[in-house]
Amino acid sequence: MRIESDREKLSSNMEDYLEAIALIEMDKGVARVKDISRLMKVKTPSVTSALNVLANKGLVEHERYGYAELTENGKRIAHDVLKRHKMLTKFLSSILKIDPQVAAGDACKMEHVLSPQTCERLTMFVEFVGAGSEIDRPLWLKGFDHYLKTGKRVECKNKQALKKVKGEK
Amino acid sequence: MRIESDREKLSSNMEDYLEAIALIEMDKGVARVKDISRLMKVKTPSVTSALNVLANKGLVEHERYGYAELTENGKRIAHDVLKRHKMLTKFLSSILKIDPQVAAGDACKMEHVLSPQTCERLTMFVEFVGAGSEIDRPLWLKGFDHYLKTGKRVECKNKQALKKVKGEK
DNA sequence: TTTATTTGTTAGACAAGTTTAACAAATACA
DNA sequence: TGTATTTGTTAAACTTGTCTAACAAATAAA
């Protein structure tokens, strides 16, 4: 028999609900069933049912016909997920140059399945690379861009090519 | 009403079964329920049931009490999954230096969720980086290793530090 | 070739998450 | 204040994949 605040691993789905609620709270202050259902692309009964599950785990508060609110615990988890989401999005879009939509989708999947170790390393990697702007983009990464376009590695002995890679787009 | 060889997207689970069967076929020529169940860490009835699903989709052939064999279609999918798996493992273990066990686990999850675009880019990235051996490891990547260890970027102006990063471990 | 062991299948239950249909509460507005 | 509209909930069914228990086929071995 188990008591209250279970520390069991949340399912991807429930993590997604927490994340959605957090986003809506950030946007509008409070989250309603309708908003969640719209954001998650599920019907409202699914939301009601998810809220019951999450409330049982002490991750949201929800009174019938009222707003849903994350508890402290819920917030903590949601923010962890969001942090992973952001990091992954950045990795995909600014390092690998994946299209924003696709990157968002992939980040949404990956955020629930990566081990803490991988998340941590990837975070360090993103941090290490920087690459927020084109200017910050390290030279080797521009080399990768070139490799993507042409399938060929930049010959660094050739000053001409090197300049080209360094310089533009 | 739908006919035979549906081109619907396979679930992660079913992809995993195909992958397992492919691995066993490669190892022993033919795959038996027992082998699959062992590799997948599920009980045999789950395998029987999965084989029925896959047979319906035309991805395996399986006669009662006999061997399971991938069809051409099944093989194609299984090999795609395996290719992604290998690529991801390489990315995680040889670029990010994730522990083998953890890398394997993460690759196993990621292989089912990444978009084709991300798979392709990541493949290119792994290819670009090389990094099969410590010797091939590009200098910037050694810089990342150093960043992981110390949290500090290598100052390339400092010849001493540079040499250290280039040289050892 | 009969018996024992291993392997595979069926049937039935369960868990998580989803849906539709019907209904109830809250809100808006006349 | 009374009626409509919007929003939320309940109940019941379905899906996917799992399991246990009981049974059936195949293989090994006596």
Q: How far is the CA of B65 from the C1' of C1 (A)?
A: 23
Whether A152 has a pLDDT exceeding 90, the answer reads no
Assigned CATH for B12-76: 1.10.10.10
Residue A80: is it exposed, middle or buried by C-beta count within 10 angstroms (0-12/13-18/19+)? Answer: middle
Among candidates B99, B113, B148 on the partner chain, residue whose Cβ is nearest the Cβ of A124: B148
**A118 in contact with B at a CB cutoff of 8 Å?**
yes
**A97 in contact with B at a CB cutoff of 8 Å?**
yes
Whether B2 has a pLDDT exceeding 50, the answer reads no
Q: Could you report the per-residue pLDDT of B83-129, keeping only the tens digit for each?
A: 999 999 999 999 999 999 999 999 999 999 999 999 999 999 999 99
Whether B81 has a pLDDT exceeding 80, the answer reads yes
Confidence label for B75 from pLDDT (cuts 50, 70 and 90) = very high
Cβ of residue A54 lies below 7 Å from strand D: no
Per-residue pLDDT at B6: 54
Per-residue pLDDT at B156: 56
Q: Could you report the per-residue pLDDT of A90-119, keeping only the tens digit for each?
A: 999 999 999 999 999 999 999 999 999 999
Among candidates A110, A118, A128 on the partner chain, residue whose Cβ is nearest the Cβ of B144: A128
Average pLDDT of the residues of chain B:
89
Q: How far is the CA of A63 from the C1' of D3 (A)?
A: 27
Whether A29 has a pLDDT exceeding 50, the answer reads yes
Number of Cβ within 10 Å of residue A156's Cβ equals: 11
- Taking CA atoms, A70 is separated from A41, A46, A62, A75, A84, in Å, by 20, 18, 9, 6, 19
- Find and give the residue nearest to D21, measured CA to C1': B45
Q: Could you report the per-residue pLDDT of A58-69, keeping only the tens digit for each?
A: 999 999 999 999
Cβ contact (<8 Å) for B106 and A99? Answer: no
Average pLDDT of the residues of chain A:
89
Q: Quick one: average pLDDT of A147-166?
A: 66
Mutation site for B-interface testing, chosen from A122, A128, A141, A153 by largest number of B Cβ within 10 Å: A128
Identify all chain B residues contacting A140, using CB atoms and an 8 Å cutoff: 138, 140
Whether B1 has a pLDDT exceeding 60, the answer reads no
Cβ contact (<8 Å) for A106 and B114? Answer: yes
Cβ partners under 8 Å of residue B121, min gap 6: A96, A97, A98, A148
Q: Could you report the per-residue pLDDT of A42-52, keeping only the tens digit for each?
A: 999 999 999 99
Longest dimension (CA), chain A: 72
For chain B, the domains span 12-76, 138-169
Residue B82: is it exposed, middle or buried by C-beta count within 10 angstroms (0-12/13-18/19+)? Answer: middle
